[in-house]
Structure 1
Amino acid sequence: MEEAWQFTSKHLKEVMISKSKEEHVFVAEQAKRVLELPLHWKVPMLEARWFIHVYEKREDKNHLLLELAKLEFNTLQAIYQEELKDISGTILTILISIITVIDDIYDVYGTLHELERFTDAWLGKYTPTLGGFLENGLVSIAGPIVTISAYLSGTNPIIEKELEFLESNPDLVHWSCKIFRLQDDLGTASHEIHRGDVPKSIQCYMHETGASEEVTREHIKDVMRQMWKKVNAYRADKDSPLSQTTVDFILNLVRMSHFMYLDGDRHGIRNQENMDVGFTWLFQPVPLEDKHMAFTASPGTKG
């Protein structure tokens, strides 16, 4: 698998460069996109919207297929809007909000009396190794508690065997939370350190090895890739006590972390660009084609 990754990455980069001319822009954009993140690391609905937008540029596009994809996206978006109304006041939503607020207050605004041990460690300038940081980081990212809360909120009926297994922090949750922690750090570390936060995985590895920030970030990305291999191995385990639905919502938590933190901090920074992304995804339907065009046979379509 490692050889396959090396081989495909090399040739995709070549395709991205060689097909960058206008007549091959569709292929070049696809190659660039997949080099940013593997497809199974991405949120399916977000990727579908991007693909619809890019596919629409093709001169040989199938209008019927394109219209069907748009209708499916808009239907799913409408379902999500209804679900958003239902969960807006649930315990899970409240829990995530509380975790976020407490985490930021603890890291940045805590007083000496409130954070005595934390302050002592900070004034001793203690920076753990990357491994030590991650053992704590998989908990500090709140992944395990969010996973269990999501299971309790969204599973009907709740299966005691599954719940007990999730509470044991199985490998799927363990590695998924570490990936979440690392992707969060890649997107937020620079901003958080500037505002006085504790060292993140990037600073820990730089302190441990003396590597530059650029080298460290590449190392962190490779660490995440190796962790995804462990997650993928678990997904293939037919003896897992977890249902596919439960596995999917754990994976979607990780996929969402890639989306939220790949290009910065879409969670913590409330700028217009980040707000537009969320609005487009959840509330703006994909414009449909002209009705006549939608039912006109396109290249490759019979009848």
Structure 2
Amino acid sequence: MALQGLFSAFLVTAPPPRMPLPLSRTASKVCASKPVQCITIPVTKMDHDDCSASRRNADYPPSFWDYNIVKSLSSNYDEKKYTTLVDELKDDVKRLIHAETDVLAKLELLDSVQRLGLNYQFQKDIKQAIDVIYSADETLLGDDLHFTALWFRILREHGFAVSQDVFQKFIDETGHLKANLREDVKGLLSLYEASYFGFQGEDIIDKGKAFSKEHLKNSVQGESSPNMARKVNHALDMPLHWKLPRVEAIWYIDTYEQEPNMVPSLLKLAKLDYNIVQSVHQKEVSKLASWWVDIGLDKIPFARDRLVEHYFWANGIVSGPEYSAFRDMGTKIICLITTIDDVYDVYGSLEEVKLFTDYVDRWDITEIDKLPVHIKTVFLALFNTVNEIGYWTIRERDFNIIPYLSKQWANLCKAYLREATWYHSGYKPTMEEYMENASVSIGGLLMLFCAYFLTTEKITVEALDFIDKVPSIMWCPSILVRLTNDLGTSSHELARGDNLKAVQCYMNDTGASEEVSRKHVESLVYETWKILNKDLVGSYPFSEPFVSANPNIARTSQTFYQYGDGHGIPQHWTKDHLKSLLVEPFALSE
């Protein structure tokens, strides 16, 4: 699809926006020379002037979580208790992965292992199997659409830029997909899922997406297999490539149980592993609930109290049990991003947020008494938390991250300030202006920066310099978070008097209707994913889990905003995801 309008230049080449903004020399010296410190302020001392009627209030609903209950979450699925059984089941699955079998059966097994949430358990084994499959002759695919599409999807998923020409045999002399494919529901489903791994300019993949989507919708009406109909509806609701792996695992474990080629040991391992990892996540969120209440930000009256939802964000970005440090500190960062966003968007006056931005830019607390107590409390929470993260990084990684991390916060606050200035002056930004700033103000770049240094075993200046230039692999997910957020929340935010969002900016630029503008923004989501798909097969001065964290942050956003604002105004699907993630284990048969 050819993009038109003011945003087209951004998506065709995906250049980084004109940022990050450099820190001043003074700020750099402050960051480099300041010792790690924490300052406290009694959060119970509230200035009555802080609650002035002249201030805005978004009237966000309170958290539906009782933090005393969250603190008490526990599970019987301790990893040590099940070590022997897990090892036995893993050995069974490894034998299956390395067994001599036909390529289609091997692809289907690997697909199931991944969708069951077990990819992290068998990374080396899966890679070895994929390498063997990639080296095999493509002619073995024959004219089987399901086989071809599954082969294409899994190889692209694992970093092989295989050609779309593998689908050329399914194109007729008129340039369209062959009519007889309409009856092959299994093949259409595989083609549909594969099409979301396309790159820009791949016309066959685009045709495959449109064709499979249309005929899958029609097939559901007459599908005789309830299990196949369920799979089709699940895929049409959201393609596999856009789903969070752990959320998909919840659904697929139930579905896999009904499969005729189900492997009992694989299913048992999937359920057991899910429960064990859930027990790890319960301990993490329990500890975070204590932090959230102790720091007092749950009592800030104008801000969103979303501690558990923010843990879901961090968990979505990197869910592996060995990365608890990222989920702990990442959740704290997301809590601060949201709270500070509400300072700029909802509560603070223009003069107050200018001061806030200046103090963050200089990383200096000496003049914060000029701020009202609620905003001062938020600033000190930021200052303390960043310094605590800096202390952890020095201790665990022997690297002073504070100058880099405080710079990222300065970039974010400057982007917030620009939006606040637009609001207070009544200025309507163009789509280009809005998206350039919004790629920063959404907070995705800051979170991805944290995902790098909190998960890598060795922090390098080379990688930090590369990240500082905002490569496309980071820029695209940030744009996706922004666009999906706008599609899900703009009506709520506009109602409270917020800045225009992407849909409204496009309407103002082009005169298009809201319906047309929303479809345009949706098309930008598709095109941005195509750019990100190409980025994901590139090489970088960093590795896993940071590479996967980039698409995962976009997937988390699409999970939250799929049906509306599942973050600011938590809806039933958010509650369901969180209950499955944290509360409800799978029942295990003896």
What TM-score, normalized by structure 1, do the two folds share?
Answer: 0.83
Tell me the amino acid that sits aligned with residue 220 of structure 1.
Answer: V
Residues 120 and 226 (structure 1), Cα distance of their counterparts in 2 relative to 1, 3 Å cut: closer
Tell which has more relative contact order, 1 or 2 (C-alpha 8 A, sep 6+): 1
CA contact (8 A) 1:260 1:266 kept: yes
- Report the Cα offset of residue 213 of structure 1: 1.9
Distance 1:30 1:5 in 2: 22
CA contact (8 A) 2:431 2:505 kept: yes
Residue in structure 1 matched with residue 279 of structure 2 by the alignment: 78
Matched length? 288
Residues 172 and 55 (structure 1), Cα distance of their counterparts in 2 relative to 1, 3 Å cut: same
Tell me the amino acid that sits aligned with residue 93 of structure 1.
Answer: T
User: Within the alignment, does 1:219 sit opposite 2:420 as a pair?
Assistant: no
Distance 1:276 1:35 in 2: 20
- Report the Cα offset of residue 272 of structure 1: 5.7
Give 3-state SS (helix, strand or coil) of 1:114's partner: helix
Q: What's the CA shift string for 1:128-175, capped at 9, x where partnerless?
A: 222221100011001111111222222222233222211221111111
- Report the Cα offset of residue 192 of structure 1: 0.9
Residue in structure 2 matched with residue 51 of structure 1 by the alignment: 252
CA contact (8 A) 1:144 1:173 kept: yes
User: Within the alignment, does 1:130 sit opposite 2:431 as a pair?
Assistant: yes
Residues 26 and 17 (structure 1), Cα distance of their counterparts in 2 relative to 1, 3 Å cut: farther
- Report the Cα offset of residue 91 of structure 1: 4.1
Tell me the amino acid that sits aligned with residue 256 of structure 1.
Answer: T
Residue in structure 2 matched with residue 298 of structure 1 by the alignment: none
Residues 118 and 44 (structure 1), Cα distance of their counterparts in 2 relative to 1, 3 Å cut: closer
| Residue number among 210, 220, 244 corresponding to 2:511 in the alignment | 210
Gaps of 5+ in 1: 292-303
Residues 26 and 217 (structure 1), Cα distance of their counterparts in 2 relative to 1, 3 Å cut: farther
CA contact (8 A) 1:127 1:199 kept: yes
Residue in structure 2 matched with residue 107 of structure 1 by the alignment: 345
User: Within the alignment, does 1:145 sit opposite 2:345 as a pair?
Assistant: no
Give 3-state SS (helix, strand or coil) of 1:154's partner: coil
Residues 23 and 60 (structure 1), Cα distance of their counterparts in 2 relative to 1, 3 Å cut: farther
Distance 1:237 1:118 in 2: 34
Residues 281 and 17 (structure 1), Cα distance of their counterparts in 2 relative to 1, 3 Å cut: farther
| Residue number among 574, 579, 582 corresponding to 1:274 in the alignment | 574
User: Within the alignment, does 1:33 sit opposite 2:333 as a pair?
Assistant: no
Residues 272 and 256 (structure 1), Cα distance of their counterparts in 2 relative to 1, 3 Å cut: closer
Residue in structure 2 matched with residue 285 of structure 1 by the alignment: 585
- Report the Cα offset of residue 119 of structure 1: 6.5
Shifted more, 40-49 versus 268-277: the winner is 268-277
CA contact (8 A) 1:143 1:177 kept: yes
Distance 1:198 1:176 in 2: 22
CA contact (8 A) 1:16 1:29 kept: no
Gaps of 5+ in 2: 1-201, 288-323, 355-417
Distance 1:280 1:191 in 2: 27
Q: What's the CA shift string for 1:168-209, capped at 9, x where partnerless?
A: 211111111111110111111111111111111111111111
Residues 9 and 95 (structure 1), Cα distance of their counterparts in 2 relative to 1, 3 Å cut: same
Distance 1:152 1:88 in 2: 9
Residues 89 and 40 (structure 1), Cα distance of their counterparts in 2 relative to 1, 3 Å cut: closer
Residues 88 and 176 (structure 1), Cα distance of their counterparts in 2 relative to 1, 3 Å cut: closer
CA contact (8 A) 1:180 1:257 kept: yes
Give 3-state SS (helix, strand or coil) of 2:224's partner: helix
Shifted more, 217-226 versus 11-20: the winner is 11-20
| Residue number among 46, 62, 74 corresponding to 2:262 in the alignment | 62
Residue in structure 2 matched with residue 252 of structure 1 by the alignment: 552
Distance 2:329 2:280 in 1: 20
User: Within the alignment, does 1:14 sit opposite 2:14 as a pair?
Assistant: no
Residues 165 and 89 (structure 1), Cα distance of their counterparts in 2 relative to 1, 3 Å cut: closer
Give 3-state SS (helix, strand or coil) of 2:507's partner: helix
CA contact (8 A) 1:183 1:258 kept: yes
- Report the Cα offset of residue 114 of structure 1: 3.4
CA contact (8 A) 1:9 1:35 kept: no
Residue in structure 1 matched with residue 563 of structure 2 by the alignment: 263
Distance 2:440 2:275 in 1: 36
Residues 257 and 79 (structure 1), Cα distance of their counterparts in 2 relative to 1, 3 Å cut: same
Q: Percent identity?
A: 36
Residues 90 and 80 (structure 1), Cα distance of their counterparts in 2 relative to 1, 3 Å cut: closer
CA contact (8 A) 2:489 2:564 kept: yes
Tell me the amino acid that sits aligned with residue 188 of structure 1.
Answer: T
Residues 152 and 115 (structure 1), Cα distance of their counterparts in 2 relative to 1, 3 Å cut: closer
- Report the Cα offset of residue 212 of structure 1: 1.9
Distance 1:140 1:152 in 2: 21
What is the Cα-based RMSD across aligned positions, in Å?
2.7
